[in-house]
Amino acid sequence: MIELEHLSKTFAGKDSVHALRDVSLTVQKGEIYGVIGYSGAGKSTLIRCINLLERPDTGTVRVDGVELTSLSASALNRERRKIGMIFQQFNLFATRTVLDNVAYPLRFSGMSRKAIREKAEALLKYVELSDKRDAYPSQLSGGQKQRVAIARALACDPKVLLCDEATSALDPQTTASILQLIRRLNREMGITVVMITHQMQVVKEACHRVAVMENGRVVEEGDVFSIFAHPRQEITRTFVDSTTNLNKVEDLLEEGAEITRLKPGEMLVRLSYQRGSAAEAIVSTVSRNFGVDVNILLGSLELIEGALLGGLVVVFSGQRQGIESALNYFREKNVGVEVIADADPA
Amino acid sequence: MQTLLEQIFPNVMASPDKFWESVWATVVMTAWAGALMFVIGLCLGLLMVVLKPGGILACPLAYQVLDKAVNLIRSIPFVILIALLMYVTKAIMGTRIGIRGVIVPLVVGSAPFFSRQVEAALSDIPAGLIEAAKAMGSSPLGIIFRVYLKEGAAAIARGTTITLISLIGLTAMAGYVGAGGLGDYSITYGYNYNRMDIVWASVIAIVALVCLIQMIGTLVAKKNTH
């Protein structure tokens, strides 16, 4: 649906900034594609290149088979109507009512006033804001504003929706409801979504595939599960780690917290679930079969696209042989095992 | 009432026609010059905003020329402007005296100031709104009419109010080219003959005019703020 080929963009200035360095990526029809990176990584420039709000210095942009980079200004404006966009700051027109904001892209599109009104009302109903249609944006909460912005972005029946940090100004609960709405319109209308964000949580909750950006390059790309299960780049690992609490154990060890002080016969272990890890009751099996006590200190497990991902930090205590067998049993079940501390090192 | 006014404003009431004639001259000058100033200043202000580097029709060279021209004209005192423009006035209006003769300098003296007011008003519109409009496929003309002028309406109304009030100040100098008005009235009939009541009557009329403009301006700005 979206094909970006060899995009480069440099912002001239005293310290010229290479915002994009030879970025190529393809977004499939109907998927939700995330782009994650820290501020300054170039992700904002990247998403602006898709509808040419920012023109790349070199490279081509194709959306739905049309090469946007070769279009005239007026042809580009026509194509842009098929690409909805929402923003971190919502960007609603303060002097227009909610209904008029949604109707904005429809005016001068050849539709009658009545048809425009009906369409705008239907869209407001879709985002569950029918009761606010005569309100002005200043009277709405952040989440409501973003819903209006989404309704406006959908007005021209776009094939693509671009989300520029669309949830970064919202609280976690509102973020969840906006992501839910985006997933719904992706599922029900088949709209391809590209979202950029610096929050890994957003990627985890909403995206099918993700690209990680650093210094104007895409350094890693893949489906969300593999990125979470096997992050290859350092930066990807940092992002993935930001969504779990399993690394707290290192801090706890450093602080010498009570729970990490091992008694003889104990072992501190991090277990990580990966693709293909059995979703059966392994912990209780281990406890029963090998005579080992398992004390769970930290846990972070999630379902991503229907598969279990995450891990546990546990303290095993019991006979040395029993613990060794337990660790082997976990390995057999495709659970990653990492011994963090051992009370009786060999 | 009549006798009271005659007591307070003896010299004004001696020939009230002269007073009303002056009020009318001020109103006519302000209205004509104001209307032309509004159209020309609005266009100039819009041009500056869209031509500015980073604007929707960015053309840095044209912007520089406009920007410098506006600064240049704004730096010339109005009385000198009247003199400077006399042949231009004559060419456009057919005369360089009377109300017709003062309209051109009034417009030239106020439009650049107003264009700055418009420029400031439109620059305050968040860049994100322009970006959103572009993303929705609006053309530059569409953005000018549907975003800049609509979103900037309240600020433009306030700028118009300020400019119109300073324009009234300029009309007080219209007496130099025989256009009359309240400034001329209070100097020629008040100051020169030491008749303070004439000066006071002019002040009251001007203050009333300014209040009226301010009220309308505030009302329009309020109607366009949400």
CATH number for position B73 = 1.10.3720.10
Residue B3 lies in a domain: no
What distance in Å separates the CA atoms of residue B100 and residue A81, rounded to the nearest whole number? 50
| pLDDT tens column, B76-98 | 999 999 999 999 999 999 998 99
pLDDT tens over chain B, length 226 residues: 788 988 899 999 889 999 999 999 999 999 999 999 999 999 999 999 999 998 999 999 999 999 999 999 999 999 999 999 999 999 999 998 999 999 999 999 999 999 999 999 999 999 999 999 999 999 999 999 999 999 999 999 999 999 999 999 999 999 889 899 999 999 999 999 999 999 999 999 999 999 999 999 999 999 999 8
- CA separation for the pair B37, B110 (Å, rounded): 6
Mean pLDDT of chain A: 88
101-140 of B, contacting A, C-beta below 8 A? 126, 128-129, 131-139
Which residue among B132, B139, B147 places its CB closest to the CB of A87?
B132
- List the end-to-end C-alpha distance of chain B, in Å, as a whole number: 45
* Residue A316 phi, psi dihedral angles, 5° rounding: -90, 140
Amino acid identity for residue B46 in this structure? L
Interface of A to B at Cβ within 8 Å reads 51, 53, 73-74, 77-81, 83, 85, 87, 89, 91, 93-96, 104-105, 107-108, 136-138, 152, 156, 162
Cβ-contact A329, A290 below 8 angstroms: yes
Q: Does some domain include residue B139?
A: yes
Interface confidence, given as ipTM, is 0.85
Closest CA–CA distance from residue A259 to any residue of chain B (Å): 51
Say if B15 falls within a structural domain: no
The answer to whether the Cβ–Cβ distance between A138 and B132 falls below 8 Å is no
Q: Is B127 among the domain residues?
A: yes
Q: Is residue B11 one of the residues assigned to a domain?
A: no
User: Is residue B121, in this structure, part of any structural domain at all?
Assistant: yes
Residue A48 CA to chain centroid, in angstroms? 18
Ramachandran quadrant class, A187 (left: phi over 0; alpha: psi -120 to 50; beta: rest): alpha
Residue with tokens 């609960």: A173
Q: Which domains does chain A have, with CATH numbers?
A: 2-241 (3.40.50.300), 248-342 (3.30.70.260)
User: Which amino acid is located at B142 in the chain?
Assistant: G
Domain carrying residue B57: 22-221
> What confidence tens digit (pLDDT) does each residue in B12-25 have?
988 999 999 999 99
Cα separation of A325 and A285, whole Å? 12
* Residue to test with chain A: of B122, B136, B223, most A Cβ within 10 A: B136
Cite the DSSP H helix spans in A52-128.
73-80, 98-103, 113-126
pTM reported for the whole predicted model? 0.83
| pLDDT 10s digits, B24-51 | 999 999 999 999 999 999 999 999 999 9
User: Residue B170 CB: number of other CB atoms within 10 A?
Assistant: 22
- Read off the pLDDT of residues A206-260 as tens digits, 9 standing for 90 and up: 999 999 999 889 999 999 888 887 888 888 888 888 877 777 777 887 887 777 7
Helices (H), chain A: 43-50, 73-80, 98-103, 113-126, 142-154, 172-189, 200-206, 224-229, 234-241, 248-255, 282-290, 320-332
What's the structural domain count of chain B? Answer: 1
pLDDT on residue B168: 95
**Amino acid at residue number A299:** G
As a whole number of angstroms, the distance between CA A324 and CA A290 comes to: 9
Is B124 a domain residue? yes
Across the interface, whether the CB atoms of A96 and B150 are under 8 A apart is answered yes
Q: Cβ contacts (< 8 Å) between B135 and chain A: which residues?
A: 51, 53, 80, 83, 85, 162
DSSP state of B175: G
Q: Would you call A91 and B137 a contact, using CB atoms and an 8 Å cutoff?
A: no
B135 occurs within a structural domain = yes
